[in-house]
A and B are shown apart, each in its own frame.
Chain A
Amino acid sequence: MAMTAVKDFHKLRRLHGLFCVYKPLGVHWKLVRDTIETNLLKGNVAPPPALPHKVRFLAEPSPTGEAGAAASLSAAPVPALSHHPLVTGPEFQHIRVGVGHRLDAASSGVLVLAVGNGNKALDDLYKTRVTRDYMLECEFGMATKDFSHTGRVVEKSTYGHITLDKLERVLAMLEGANQKATRMFSNVDMSSQEAYELAVQGLLGPDGKSAPILTGLRCVHFQPPSFTLEVQCLNETQKYLRKVVHEIGLELRSTAVCKNVRRTRDGLFTSRQALTRNQWSAADVMQAVQQHRYTKKTEKTVRKRSEESSAATRQSKADVMSSHRGKEHGS
């Protein structure tokens, strides 16, 4: 019983990795990070170990009871109070919990967090070109100061003339502009062999810091006044996405405003794996970290196996071809 408690306590020291959390609407991302850190610290409190004992020489009262005649001393082990948890404080006062791509308070969705050494992986995640997936719930007919439906209304307009066809045309135009931006921000000369090879592999993209780029944009739900867009993007901020919605409204000779920005995917982390508000306890976080590590490992082995099998098939094909040619030559 005591051994399991001690093991749980040391699990905190060995907790390293990434996991994702569903950030609720209206909450600042820092509050989420602080709550998770507090829960991790509280969740692994082992019962305090026995206090170490120190040997002290205690004065025994003399048998005759004379004042000042404390002549005999006896050695006795006395618990050392300076190691008591109420005096030293908790053993863990801080855990390194890092946040990935941030979400502002008015958006909700997948927020990647890292614990311990996972913060280095977070840094790599930031540097690689992973895209993020958003669902934008929007509404025609209003334009506000900060492009969201709670801001001060600047303009109101009709939207009866808008059809799905017109919307899709606007979206296609935007997508084209963004494709051009993708090619522009990659530091590769467009008329070179290198550019062609990268494009064939699908690795042509913006290098490092660039303007926000939408790599994918489509409408999933259209029922005026409300419509929903699905967006894949790079280097974006949520305010930029709301501005894009505003510009779509302007392109359609009307106005549009974004009611809800919801991130459904950040790199490899989807909302399916995200922990909701009631799953932010230490045990759930540890399980999520382990789950992510396991999925990464299985994906790696699966990819390796598929590569090997494709190499094997290529080899066998080459053998067949060579044997066939040999037969031809022979005949």
Chain B
Amino acid sequence: MSMAMASACGQLCMRCRGSLSSKTAVWRCYSHVRHLIPRTRQLLKSFDGLFITKRLASTQTGLSWKQQMCCYSDLAEKHLTADAKDNKHTKELTKTSITQITNTLMPSTDVLSMTEHPAFLDLDDAAESSALEEICDEEAISISVPSSLPPTSTSLRDYVEKSETLSKLVELGVNLWKLEQRPNVGSMLLRLDFKTDVAPRLMFLKEIGVKDSCFGYIITHNPFVLCENIENLQDRVTYLKSRKFSSETVASMVSRAPYLLNFNVKRLDNRLGFYQQQLQLSASNTRNLVARLPKLLCVSLEPVKENLKVCEIELGFKQNEIQHIVVAVPKVLTANKRKLTQIFDFLHNTMKVPHYLIAKFPQVLNTKYLRVRERHLFLEYLQKAQYDPTLPNYISLDRMVSLPDEAFCTELALSTVEDFYLFQKTL
């Protein structure tokens, strides 16, 4: 019904164009069209030159309908000097509507604001060319269409299908949802071009040996690696290799600490030197330490210095004991001071474990306080809490802490897991 109405309008327009050329005649044509359209239908007042009702675009949303209006006016602008072509009324309408649909769906990057469009204001210009005239296919495809992208949005969801960069990032496994919550990262990712910005850096990462499956993780945690200058990245990798880190080590370090390559050479050098001096380790030991916890090269040094002071002064470990602990469990350097002192206090004052035993099994400093407390109290209740290696029925600290619950109950406590859980409810 609506298509018939539109085709009738089209027919009238064509007839007017064919027979009359003056502007007043065109006006008369439009007045005829106005009579055809019943008053019950709503007319959109802003588009004076084109009487097309809302029902024409019933299947599409309001926004895309307005684009179609834009398209119509675009066509009007472009074909101001087009020759009058043969009329095939319904076929024309369907053809132009198909071309409009194809134009809205084809990816295009320019967003036209509708209020700035000049064609709506000048009736005469719009009247000279009609949206319903036939155009060839190449012209139809080359029409630029304002895309359906919103100018601003709080989510990258609206842009992911149109943007090549974003779709390729999703395929790599980057968590865009997490990244768009960080301020300004979303807009930065949108502005990147895949071929010139993202691809060279990903190729560089592949060259140094980072696996493809790690790309998603790296970019999710450090999207700024895609903004870093490639020469700088190259310099930092060559510096690390000059410090005798093997290529596989460098690759694994970059995968586990995504921010590593954002730091300049001077800073990396500073940190490596710091760890070597403070802990008085050999070069190979330092390398080993940093390779196992590459985050050490990224964090600030003040908390590390404080942790070392805590170990020395508050906990009372000797220098060689600290060295041994740090090389075995590097996480102690970045651990929370309060938790570290809490667990040490329990180990030393409640469980009565001397310093040398703690230094011998440093992994107890890495465990959860509640776990150690529950297990110790259970062993104490069963009168099996004996941690001195010289006496019989000795229970080693590392086994007590690292075994899962079932193994702990059956092997160390010689009891059942249910009893352990029941005991936990009496603490």
A-to-B contact residues, CB < 8 Å: 22, 24-27, 56-57, 59, 68-71, 73, 80-82, 84, 86-89, 108, 262, 271, 274, 276-279
User: What is the CB-to-nearest-CB distance from A44 to chain B, in angstroms, rounded to a whole number?
Assistant: 18
Judge if B415 is at the interface, Cβ distance under 8 Å. no
Taking CB atoms and an 8 Å cut-off, the chain B residues in 90-107 that contact chain A are: 102, 105-106
User: What is the CB-to-nearest-CB distance from A108 to chain B, in angstroms, rounded to a whole number?
Assistant: 6
With a cutoff of 8 Å between Cβ atoms, the chain B residues found around residue A27 in the complex are: 370
With a cutoff of 8 Å between Cβ atoms, the chain B residues found around residue A26 in the complex are: 369-370
A-B contact pairs, 26 of them (CB 8 A): A22-B425, A24-B370, A25-B427, A26-B369, A26-B370, A27-B370, A56-B105, A59-B106, A59-B141, A68-B142, A81-B160, A81-B166, A82-B157, A86-B170, A86-B174, A87-B160, A87-B176, A87-B177, A89-B177, A262-B427, A271-B425, A277-B370, A277-B424, A278-B405, A278-B421, A279-B421
Can you add 18 more A-B contacts, CB < 8 Å, to A25-B373, A80-B161, A84-B160?
A22-B424, A25-B427, A27-B370, A57-B105, A57-B106, A68-B138, A73-B141, A81-B160, A81-B170, A82-B158, A82-B160, A82-B161, A86-B170, A86-B173, A89-B178, A108-B427, A276-B424, A278-B405
User: What is the CB-to-nearest-CB distance from A284 to chain B, in angstroms, rounded to a whole number?
Assistant: 11
With a cutoff of 8 Å between Cβ atoms, the chain A residues found around residue B178 in the complex are: 89
Task: Report which of A56, A86, A277 forms a contact with B175, defined as CB distance below 8 A.
Answer: A86
Residues 389-427 of B, flagged 1 when their CB comes within 8 A of A and 0 if not, give 000000000000000010000000000000001001111
Task: Report which of B106, B142, B177, B421 forms a contact with A86, defined as CB distance below 8 A.
Answer: B177
With a cutoff of 8 Å between Cβ atoms, the chain B residues found around residue A271 in the complex are: 425
Judge if B137 is at the interface, Cβ distance under 8 Å. yes
B-to-A contact residues, CB < 8 Å: 102, 105-106, 137-138, 141-142, 156-158, 160-161, 166-167, 170, 173-178, 369-370, 373-374, 405, 421, 424-427
With a cutoff of 8 Å between Cβ atoms, the chain A residues found around residue B373 in the complex are: 25
With a cutoff of 8 Å between Cβ atoms, the chain A residues found around residue B166 in the complex are: 81
The chain B residue sitting closest to A90, CB to CB, is: B177
User: What is the CB-to-nearest-CB distance from A69 to chain B, in angstroms, rounded to a whole number?
Assistant: 7
**In the complex with contacts A26-B370, A57-B106, A81-B424 CB distance below 8 A:** no
With a cutoff of 8 Å between Cβ atoms, the chain A residues found around residue B102 in the complex are: 57, 73
The answer for the CA separation of A89 and B167 in the assembled complex, in Å, is 15
Q: Is the CB of A87 within 8 A of B370?
A: no
**In the complex with contacts A24-B370, A24-B427, A277-B424, A88-B177 CB distance below 8 A:** yes
With a cutoff of 8 Å between Cβ atoms, the chain B residues found around residue A73 in the complex are: 102, 141
The answer for the CA separation of A84 and B157 in the assembled complex, in Å, is 9
The answer for the CA separation of A274 and B106 in the assembled complex, in Å, is 59
The chain B residue sitting closest to A279, CB to CB, is: B421
User: What is the CB-to-nearest-CB distance from B40 to chain A, in angstroms, rounded to a whole number?
Assistant: 34
With a cutoff of 8 Å between Cβ atoms, the chain A residues found around residue B161 in the complex are: 80-82
With a cutoff of 8 Å between Cβ atoms, the chain A residues found around residue B175 in the complex are: 86
With a cutoff of 8 Å between Cβ atoms, the chain B residues found around residue A84 in the complex are: 160, 170
Q: Is the CB of A276 within 8 A of B174?
A: no
The 9 closest A-B pairs by CB, nearest first: A89-B177, A271-B425, A82-B157, A276-B424, A81-B160, A87-B176, A276-B421, A86-B175, A22-B425
User: What is the CB-to-nearest-CB distance from A222 to chain B, in angstroms, rounded to a whole number?
Assistant: 19
**In the complex with contacts A24-B370, A25-B427, A26-B370, A88-B157 CB distance below 8 A:** yes
The answer for the CA separation of A276 and B424 in the assembled complex, in Å, is 7
User: What is the CB-to-nearest-CB distance from A211 to chain B, in angstroms, rounded to a whole number?
Assistant: 30
Q: Is the CB of B138 within 8 A of A71?
A: yes
The answer for the CA separation of A56 and B425 in the assembled complex, in Å, is 61
Task: Report which of B137, B157, B170, B424 forms a contact with A71, defined as CB distance below 8 A.
Answer: B137
User: What is the CB-to-nearest-CB distance from A209 to chain B, in angstroms, rounded to a whole number?
Assistant: 31
The answer for the CA separation of A59 and B176 in the assembled complex, in Å, is 28
User: What is the CB-to-nearest-CB distance from A219 to chain B, in angstroms, rounded to a whole number?
Assistant: 18
Task: Report which of A59, A88, A274 forms a contact with B425, defined as CB distance below 8 A.
Answer: A274
With a cutoff of 8 Å between Cβ atoms, the chain B residues found around residue A276 in the complex are: 421, 424-425
The answer for the CA separation of A84 and B178 in the assembled complex, in Å, is 13
User: What is the CB-to-nearest-CB distance from A63 to chain B, in angstroms, rounded to a whole number?
Assistant: 15
With a cutoff of 8 Å between Cβ atoms, the chain B residues found around residue A278 in the complex are: 405, 421
Task: Report which of A24, A69, A81 forms a contact with B138, defined as CB distance below 8 A.
Answer: A69
The answer for the CA separation of A86 and B172 in the assembled complex, in Å, is 10
User: What is the CB-to-nearest-CB distance from A101 to chain B, in angstroms, rounded to a whole number?
Assistant: 18
The answer for the CA separation of A278 and B370 in the assembled complex, in Å, is 11
Q: Is the CB of B170 within 8 A of A87?
A: yes
